[in-house]
Structure 1
């Protein structure tokens, strides 16, 4: 490869890094309600806001679209933050219950002590975030816990589907966590639920593991429905 081509490669890499940074920031703004469901995502305005090129913004918006947080809307070729309805919440919970529990049971049969140790370390991280009242950070680590566990099912397709469902659900859940009272309550219950999951896995108690996950999914649905009711 000639040295003449190197600057272009570096520039592409820089754009990709910028796009990821902007995408992460937009995701945080959506989770915290600073970008509301249905709000337009205008490339020129976002480029000025983040002081980056429109190319970086365009790529960041494509990442949001792929994750399910943005959809086509507004002007031709434009995008908006994905609106959330009660039916969306019901649908997400239904599919989570159908897929996620089967994946969890498969993972429970495969996971080893090293995997359980990883899960316990993530709970320690959650506890620190809960104590610091960093509930949006807690939300991200919540998925890290489940992803680590579900990866032991060795089913990448199912894991991709579940991750997209979690991203969609987190849009409503993040809004719930803006309240300090809600955040403190939910984070404590999440940690308790994760500890219970580890107990069920270690005991090879599939019946009660399934019940624990059903309860977690149902609880998340109730919280998200309450939020949709409040903002509609």
Structure 2
């Protein structure tokens, strides 16, 4: 592998993360000079990286206009979320018989990390990146334990629909992010007891709840709804919504 190829792959991954985190919005034009400066790279690997991202469907190229972040309709976003929910629920079902004490401990370690980051009733801006990494790692670990690489492969492809990515923290209200993290706890508990059906049901609800919240934000056209924002506690939002135990 050449240095140029390696550099282009690294640039592509960095740019992909920026898009999936919502720092570049759907439909936004990608100015190569500005991006090269922001990423601290030359335009040669950047052009190669953009072409690769276009092949993956994350960006689109238009003659005389250049590259822009691909836009997805609410129907496309809903469809991607539904498939992701079923795949991640299946991952839980398959992971249950493969659980070991070590795997269970890893899952609970991620839950404990989330508890630490959310301590004090808020997710501080400085903790966005650590929380996002914890969230991604939690989901990836379950897919690994499932032992079917096709699940992880297809879930990764669905993350090319930026708003369905588990790398984005969208929640403006404390009860939303608190509920999401509580789902992680309940999934870990179910898997630690070998109950894949229950873990899968919680995971499906977990993903679809995020879908419903996101689409409601899109429908209301709330300013900043697609950007990463701090989720803070307040007197109106301290309680999580009621669910079946």
TM-score (norm 2): 0.73
Secondary structure (helix, strand or coil) at the match of 1:41 reads coil
Out of 107, 118, 127, the position equivalent to 2:95 is: 107
Deviation per residue, 1:33-67 (Å, 9 max, x gap): x4211111132332234342012322443564466
Out of 44, 47, 60, the position equivalent to 2:33 is: 44
**Is the Cα–Cα contact under 8 Å of residues 111 and 181 in structure 2 kept in the other structure?**
yes
Out of 177, 186, 189, the position equivalent to 1:199 is: 189
Out of 57, 61, 76, the position equivalent to 1:88 is: 76
Q: Could you say if the C-alpha distance between residues 170 and 185 of structure 1 is closer, same or farther in structure 2, counting changes exceeding 3 Å?
A: farther
Secondary structure (helix, strand or coil) at the match of 1:73 reads strand
Q: Which moved more, 1:134-143 or 1:150-159?
A: 134-143
Instruction: Look up the match of 1:141.
Output: 134
Secondary structure (helix, strand or coil) at the match of 2:68 reads strand
Q: Which whole-Å CA distance do the structure 1 matches of 2:135 and 2:109 have between them?
A: 12
Instruction: Look up the match of 1:157.
Output: 150
1:30, distance to aligned residue in structure 2 (A): 5.3
1:225, distance to aligned residue in structure 2 (A): 0.5
Instruction: Look up the match of 1:208.
Output: 198
Instruction: Look up the match of 1:125.
Output: 113
Q: Which whole-Å CA distance do the structure 2 matches of 1:231 and 1:26 have between them?
A: 25
Deviation per residue, 1:176-200 (Å, 9 max, x gap): 24xxx43x43332222111101221
Secondary structure (helix, strand or coil) at the match of 1:176 reads coil
Deviation per residue, 1:11-38 (Å, 9 max, x gap): x17x735752674366336524x42111
Out of 216, 223, 226, the position equivalent to 2:213 is: 223
Deviation per residue, 1:120-154 (Å, 9 max, x gap): 11222223333452234423321210111111121
Q: Give aligned pairs, total.
A: 216
**Is the Cα–Cα contact under 8 Å of residues 19 and 69 in structure 2 kept in the other structure?**
no
The answer for unaligned runs of 5 or more in structure 2 is: 223-245
Q: Could you say if the C-alpha distance between residues 104 and 167 of structure 1 is closer, same or farther in structure 2, counting changes exceeding 3 Å?
A: farther
Deviation per residue, 1:162-219 (Å, 9 max, x gap): 1232453445973624xxx43x433322221111012211223333223212211220
Higher helix proportion (structure 1 or 2): 1
Q: Which whole-Å CA distance do the structure 2 matches of 1:203 and 1:47 have between them?
A: 49
Q: Which has the higher contact order (CA 8 A, sep 6+)?
A: 2
Q: Which whole-Å CA distance do the structure 2 matches of 1:230 and 1:28 have between them?
A: 25
Would you say 1:53 and 2:42 are equivalent positions?
yes
The answer for unaligned runs of 5 or more in structure 1 is: 1-7
Instruction: Look up the match of 2:229.
Output: none
State the 4+ residue runs in structure 1 displaced beyond 6 angstroms: none
TM-score (norm 1): 0.77
Q: Which moved more, 1:154-163 or 1:22-31?
A: 22-31
Would you say 1:97 and 2:91 are equivalent positions?
no
